[in-house]
A and B are shown apart, each in its own frame.
Chain A
Amino acid sequence: MNMFSVFWDYRTYFATGIQYTLLLAAIGVICGFVLGIIISLMRMSRFWLPKMIGSVWVEVLRGTPMVVQLFIIHYGLVAFGVKFTPIESGAITLSINSSAYLAEVFRAGIQGVDRGQSEAARSLGMTRSMTMRYIVLPQAVKSVLPAIGNEFITIIKESSIVSFIGVTDLMYQSGAIQGITYDYLSPLLVIAAIYFIMTFTLSKLLGAFERRLNTDDQR
């Protein structure tokens, strides 16, 4: 089949594509995760300012297309003298976008932890932040692991938009190969298969991770 010969002939193209897709997805996942926790904590803050910043952050980033965010960051900010490389723009967009979704996931998880847990921790003299760090967050993250996995998979797929600004990810490479071979379908089928292998592997890994956490404590 042509798909296989295209894959083999242009394997170095695909390898580069895989590299950039994984790099951007990994940055998006890690930064989105950390930023997401911070934003969710801000949203649940007792003080109005962080609460408002958190809410605006989530609503704006969820309520506008990611491509638009990407273009604003990459092309729009130049007007203010802020210039990013395509990879930087892609990483920033994926990170802040996933942080907004993950912030909502974490909020649900944190609010789902039994109140008695923080009461017990506070009764032992732990401060608010210790309680959050040692008692609430570990349980919250565990309970929303499936939802986090979903978001990770989404980021891998959505990272394909960075091809619009010239990052040589999988999507971009398939376009390049189309231009060389005039074969429109085969490169797309190849990258579809590669995306699928990435997301499927990730979802299996997360499933195994979940099971390992559950051996500790079934409630």
Chain B
Amino acid sequence: MISVKDLRKSFGKLEILKGIDIDIAKGEVVVVIGPSGSGKSTFLRCLNLLETPSGGQITFEGEPITDKRHNINATREKMGMVFQHFNLFPHKSVLQNLMLAPVKVKKQPPAEAERIALDLLRTVGLSDKKDAYPSQLSGGQKQRIAIARALAMQPHVMLFDEPTSALDPEMVGEVLEVMKKLAEGGMTMVIVTHEMGFAREVGDRIVFMDGGQIVEQGTPAEVFGNPQNSRTKDFLSKVL
């Protein structure tokens, strides 16, 4: 579904990604772990071109999205993204947050967009908040709304950029619960996270990144149970 070849990204002289190769299959849940500064978030943000890669190719559903002539907006409709800091639209109500893109971008009739939005709010357990504004929500609720907002576009893949890192500890569970349900529903997901328990439980594949490269990858049992690379071992010994 997503195929990444020799992906490189530099900021000025600083090389963040030093050639990433990965293929992500439909329905797969890929969890990217690694120390901070390893390029995990940059890698994720390159997948929907929020960061423009300095080199390499990314193919999504057969289309070369890194191609200059490719219309990235059309691709982004099919790639939902959830951010560390939620980035809900503060001047819009919860329902408007969910309906804006489907109505404006996909030209969905408002009634249909509203039906889908209400459905999603039920899924994330926040139906009663539809008329609230983001400032009236807790961090955990904001992130669940942000997930619902991304899902409202009915994406084919969901990208999660450290979705629980900005949350108070007691709110992490509710967000992970929603993500787990999503994974069980067969959604293709790429997740950058520090939640190792969640990674082990929900991930189909664990990718360990360090220094702008994929150092090791495999099933959770392989990576967590029997890491091969010394850097993976070192990292896991610190976080587990």
Contacts and interface: CB of A to CB of B under 8 A. Distances in A.
Given A122-B76, A123-B48, A126-B104, A216 B87 contact: no
A114 B90 CA distance: 11
Contacts of B83: 116, 119-120, 123
Contact of B87 (A114, A126, A218, A219): A114
A141 to B, nearest CB: 10
Contacts of B220: none
B150 A124 contact: yes
B76 A123 contact: yes
Given A125-B74, A125-B77, A217 B87 contact: no
B9 to A, nearest CB: 16
Nearest to B146: A120
B101 interface: yes
B104 A116 contact: no
A174 to B, nearest CB: 44
B79 interface: yes
B73 A117 contact: no
B238 interface: no
A124 B102 CA distance: 9
B100 A134 contact: yes
Contacts of B76: 122-125
Contacts of B91: 138-139, 142, 216-217
Interface in B68-107: 73-74, 76-77, 79-81, 83, 85, 87-91, 100-101, 104-106
B221 interface: no
A12 B83 CA distance: 63
A219 B87 CA distance: 12
A52 interface: no
Contacts of A19: none
Contact of A124 (B74, B85, B101, B135): B101
Across chains A and B, which 9 residue pairs bring their CB atoms closest together, nearest first?
A125-B77, A120-B87, A124-B101, A123-B81, A116-B87, A125-B76, A217-B133, A125-B105, A217-B90
Interface of B: 48, 50, 73-74, 76-77, 79-81, 83, 85, 87-91, 100-101, 104-106, 133-135, 146, 149-150, 153
Given A119-B50, A216-B91, 16 more contacts: A119-B87, A120-B146, A121-B101, A123-B76, A123-B81, A124-B100, A124-B150, A125-B73, A125-B74, A125-B76, A126-B101, A217-B91, A217-B134, A217-B135, A218-B135, A219-B90
Interface of A: 114, 116-117, 119-127, 130, 134-135, 138-139, 142, 216-219
